[in-house]
Structure 1
Amino acid sequence: MEDDEERVTLFDVVYGRKSEKVVLQQLTMVAQVPSDAADRTELGARYENLITQLTKQHRLGCGITGLLLIYPTCLLHIIEASEYLLDCFLNELRAMQEQPDCKLLEAKVAFMWHSLEGRQFQQWSYKVLTADQINQNPLFTTLEKVEESVETVVCRVLTQLQELVMHLKTSKELPGAILDNKPELLNPPAVLEQLLDRDELLSPQQYLQMYHSPLNICIDFGQVNLRSFF
């Protein structure tokens, strides 16, 4: 018979795996940006500087990976990191938006993926999309405006991103280079702009407020009145 001290339970295995690695999360965000091309290039460099600073400040973290796509009128940002680093990123983003020279306008958190099993992007990178890449895409020009639920629109965005991720797994190129050759993998800007108009989605400020707010737990919940049994 095995000794009790040598037995390993399922809880020990799961807890051991969780303690050995940092649990990844993935944030998908959309935001409105100015239409000036120079401002959009500056915005990309500003994001890159922010990601670099966060990585240097938190060397013990799991690092930051993801993709920033800057359209002529909006942006789509996917960022993968630990819960703590994502919290730091959103706080820095909020501070950035409060600055007078901020180039980032309204923003919405489209999706937060908790306990990501593995990274979908090997590094963080950004790409500024030109007006020609958008206007000459036949999939965008034939897109009809249809009133859809916010869940449907978010699923459309995430499905298109998964198509890009599948191509990344079989290619050594950066996402920007793949999108140059396969523009059909891009999410239509009209779809992203729909998310900016949906009140169901939270802004980064609202998300942080909800994240840091304590849960209102009723202390009477779960208590049993013994007199009810008599």
Structure 2
Amino acid sequence: MASSQKTRKYVSLGKRSVTEEEEEDMLSMFDVSRGKTTERIVLQRLILIARLPQDLADRTELGAHYEKLNFQLKKQHMLDNMTGLLLIYPSCLLHVIESSRDVLVSVLKDLTDMQQQPDGAFLEASKVVLMAQNPQSRLFPQWSYKVLEEDQMAGESKSFEEEEESTETLVCCVLSALQKLSEHLEGSKAVPGSVLDESPELIVSQNVLNKLLTRDELLTPQQHLQMYCSPLNVIMNAECSAFTRAPRK
């Protein structure tokens, strides 16, 4: 009789105990109320932009390069699921990567290596638009890329060419457009590429990205990696305490 009974695990909760099934229900309701997905990693989000060389004949080569990189990173970091979106414009690219810090650093290192290739790099100037620590949820359910054509840029507003917008305003425009695209994808099995074909107004403005590429306030991938890899020295004495970067040799 005892062997046929379902084994229950009890968890202490204040002055009473709850079963494992009740505990799972509570966790699920908590996650829903907080609007978060369960992650095995400390999720981070990286948004990169880069200028394409004018003589780049086949932009699909960039998509193939990042597909290969994504495959390699999945093998190296099996639990660090990588999601995001790569948009390849006629003159630049926008890359959103959501994963662990290790994966994001690998993407940054790969980008710097690509730019240093002597025999015709895929990419020229590049900038880090945003590095978000522990965002509440992912913007995209998987990683994919889309090559955008010139006619899809035809409806872009020219206001950013006529007015001098602040860097903060331009960054907010990028984030707002990505959020709208993410909301449009909710509850749908469609990939971002097909959604952008049907609704080109959801495409992040190429004009905005080109303006951001000229802004010195944004770090390059090399500068970001230098800051991340540079150790901190802690200086403390009777009068003051401060954190300083160790000098680079």
Do these two structures clear the TM 0.5 threshold for a shared fold by scoring above it?
A: yes
1:188 aligns with 2:205: yes
Q: Could you tell me which residue of structure 2 aligns to residue 213 of structure 1? A: 230
Which of 119-128 and 87-96 deviates more?
87-96
* TM-fit CA distance, 1:153: 0.8
Amino acid of the residue matched to residue 34 of structure 1?
P
Instruction: Note if contact 2:112-2:222 (Cα within 8 Å) is conserved in structure 1.
Output: yes
Amino acid of the residue matched to residue 181 of structure 1?
E
TM-score normalised by structure 1 residue count: 0.82
1:26 aligns with 2:26: no
How far apart, CA to CA, are the structure 2 residues paired with 1:148 and 1:196? 13
How far apart, CA to CA, are the structure 2 residues paired with 1:36 and 1:140? 26
Q: Could you tell me which residue of structure 1 aligns to residue 91 of structure 2? A: 73
Instruction: Note if contact 1:23-1:116 (Cα within 8 Å) is conserved in structure 2.
Output: no
Instruction: Note if contact 1:54-1:89 (Cα within 8 Å) is conserved in structure 2.
Output: no
CA deviations over 1:12-53 (Å, ceiling 9, x no partner)? xxxxxxxx8311000011100134574311111111111111
Instruction: Note if contact 1:133-1:183 (Cα within 8 Å) is conserved in structure 2.
Output: yes
Greater share of helix residues, 1 or 2? 1
How far apart, CA to CA, are the structure 1 residues paired with 2:199 and 2:13? 53
Amino acid of the residue matched to residue 107 of structure 1?
S
Give structure 1 regions of 4+ aligned residues with deviation exceeding 2 angstroms: 34-39, 139-145, 215-218, 220-224
How far apart, CA to CA, are the structure 1 residues paired with 2:192 and 2:238? 50
How far apart, CA to CA, are the structure 1 residues paired with 2:203 and 2:233? 41
How far apart, CA to CA, are the structure 1 residues paired with 2:162 and 2:171? 15
Q: Could you tell me which residue of structure 1 aligns to residue 146 of structure 2? A: 127
Q: Could you tell me which residue of structure 1 aligns to residue 82 of structure 2? A: 64
Q: Could you tell me which residue of structure 2 aligns to residue 154 of structure 1? A: 171
* TM-fit CA distance, 1:223: 6.6
Alignment partner for residue 91 of structure 1, among 100, 103, 109?
109
Greater share of strand residues, 1 or 2? 2
How far apart, CA to CA, are the structure 2 residues paired with 1:160 and 1:29? 15
Q: Which runs of 5+ in 1 are unaligned?
A: 1-5, 9-19, 225-230
How far apart, CA to CA, are the structure 1 residues paired with 2:13 and 2:239? 34
* TM-fit CA distance, 1:222: 7.6
How far apart, CA to CA, are the structure 1 residues paired with 2:133 and 2:164? 29
Amino acid of the residue matched to residue 165 of structure 1?
S
1:82 aligns with 2:115: no
**Larger Rg computed on CA atoms:** 2
Q: Secondary structure at the match of 2:61?
A: helix
Q: Could you tell me which residue of structure 2 aligns to residue 49 of structure 1? A: 68
Greater relative CO (CA pairs within 8 A, separation 6+): 1
Q: Which runs of 5+ in 2 are unaligned?
A: 1-11, 15-38, 242-249
TM-score normalised by structure 2 residue count: 0.76
* TM-fit CA distance, 1:66: 0.3
Q: Secondary structure at the match of 1:116?
A: coil
Q: Secondary structure at the match of 2:134?
A: strand
Q: Secondary structure at the match of 1:127?
A: strand
Amino acid of the residue matched to residue 158 of structure 1?
L
Amino acid of the residue matched to residue 28 of structure 1?
I
Q: Could you tell me which residue of structure 2 aligns to residue 228 of structure 1? A: none
CA deviations over 1:170-213 (Å, ceiling 9, x no partner)? 32100000000110011111110111000010010110000111
Percentage identity across aligned positions?
51
How far apart, CA to CA, are the structure 2 residues paired with 1:43 and 1:114? 27
Amino acid of the residue matched to residue 47 of structure 2?
T
